[in-house]
Structure 1
Amino acid sequence: MLKALALPSTGARHKIARRLGSVSLLAGALLLGGCAGVIRLENDVRSYADWTVSASGMRPAPGDLYRVERRPSQRQDPAPQLEAIEAIARDALARVGLRAAPEPLPASLPAPRWTVELGARSIRLPHAPWDEPRPFGFSVGIGVGHVGRNGSIGIGMPLFPAPAVPYYQREVSVVLREARSGRVVYETSAAHDGPWADSPTLWAALFDAALQGFPQPPAGPRRIVTEVPR
């Protein structure tokens, strides 16, 4: 014969929930942060270069000037973070030897040889694409039960919902044109994804990956693995 089983009091349940909640948050932080001090990024890069179509047939020289060209949509409806992204891209271009032309251009400097068109896109997903959506799921619960000779019976209650972990997909692109002819001589893009929110460090890593090998990178798709500080 089964005996009546007493459930924990409301105060006891709240105390247990707080303790389990602290453990869950700590476990989540360890899962996302890991023990290492770096994030390992797997960047999918596609690069193409053809300097023969330029009027001079020459590649950029270290210190060459360029100016940033904004598309009509970027001029008429600029995203709030556009200027910040452009600043990060300018730093990445400087690391491969190109200099942004100052505005207005001083008479002592030559006209920029190149123009650069930049693109950046970030998508925030509620969870990783391979994760199951959990609209009503709970990850931790508490309950009591009784095991008898012919089976078992129990009762439980959920304590708190499983925390949703957002997932981010980011991509950048760089198109380089010869200013004199307007011909595209170089194009590249890089994309990565993961549970890390947008930050200047991650955008910089994307632009650095996209520009790796400039001015004559391997043509076509490749994967570039980089590590950045957390």
Structure 2
Amino acid sequence: MTSLLQRFRLSFVLGLFSALLLAGCSTTRTVESNVNAYSTLTALPAPPTYRLERLPSQNANAVRFDAIESQAQQALANVGLQRDDRNASLVLQLGAEAGFVPNPYWNAYGYGYGYPGFGPSPFYGSFGFGFGRGWGFGMGTGWMMDRPTPLHHRKVSLILRDAKSQKIVYETSAVFEDVWTDDPAIYGVLFRQALAGFPTPPQGTRVVRTLVDRTTTVPLPDSATAPAPAKVESAPAPASR
């Protein structure tokens, strides 16, 4: 009996070690978000330019918002749009938010805790359509044995208007919820996912997955992207420089 127990313990330890080794050797991570997009565009506008219209909350926190704005501009350039405040055919409004949400896996088994829904993060806030409690950058993940780990909630949104008519021609958002996050890099991935299929994306909600470098959270080229399941779209990789 003792020998059997020892073998069981040894097998368990070896299995755990192998799992940790495989996880440590992995160099990629899949970022999955729910993208909701609507467009009346049929092609890139001429000229393919835009100007950014900041909201009062964004101007009040300009230094903090700059990182979000930079991530969005890179994603827009990746789909062929360039910022030109003097000769813009489109007007852009950005939104970004962060916080925590309950982990649905634990809630399904009756492990409730004091998050009655989406709540603002003590370190992050929101930019765009409402401003939250603060801001900060970092990489987050964790585990607590006495209470379930909540999910990091990250969301970005973009609205494009025709500069002359002021009519909305493109509206999109991407929502990411996971026990892991990497700020501000995750926002760059989400902006790229939100713009997947631009200027003629599938209308409505869909899941978009992007394979990123585990260390830098930079999206990998299309050639290195794992095949996506049906009805799941891969966001474009950054344009090579």
- TM-score, with normalisation over the residues of structure 1? 0.61
Amino acid at match of 2:34: D
2:55 pairs with 67, 71, 78, which one?
Answer: 71
Partner of 2:225: none
RMSD over aligned Cα, in angstroms? 3.1
Verify the 8 A CA contact 1:66 1:114 in the aligned structure 2: yes
How many residues in Structure 1 have an aligned counterpart in Structure 2? 164
Partner of 2:191: 207
1:111-134 deviation digits (Å, cap 9, x = unpaired): 211110000111135x63433368
Tell which structure's C-alpha radius of gyration is larger.
1
Bigger RCO (CA 8 Å, 6+ sep): 1
Identity in percent: 40
2:73 pairs with 75, 90, 114, which one?
Answer: 90
**Change beyond 3 A, Cα 1:181–1:191:** same
CA distance in 2, matches of 1:117, 1:202: 19
CA distance in 2, matches of 1:162, 1:134: 13
Q: Counting strand residues as a fraction of each chain, which structure ranks higher?
A: 1
Deviation at 1:202, TM superposition (A): 1.5
Amino acid at match of 1:46: N
Deviation at 1:173, TM superposition (A): 0.5
Is 1:128 aligned to 2:97, yes or no?
A: no
1:190 pairs with 174, 177, 182, which one?
Answer: 174
Deviation at 1:30, TM superposition (A): 4.3
Amino acid at match of 1:45: V
**Change beyond 3 A, Cα 1:134–1:218:** closer
Is 1:173 aligned to 2:157, yes or no?
A: yes
Amino acid at match of 1:200: P
Amino acid at match of 2:26: A
1:141-169 deviation digits (Å, cap 9, x = unpaired): xxxxxxxxxxxxxxxxxxxx738745201
Verify the 8 A CA contact 2:41 2:199 in the aligned structure 1: no
CA distance in 1, matches of 2:62, 2:175: 19
CA distance in 1, matches of 2:181, 2:100: 8
Which ranges of structure 1 fall in alignment gaps of 5 or more residues?
A: 1-22, 53-57, 106-110, 136-160
- TM-score, with normalisation over the residues of structure 2? 0.59
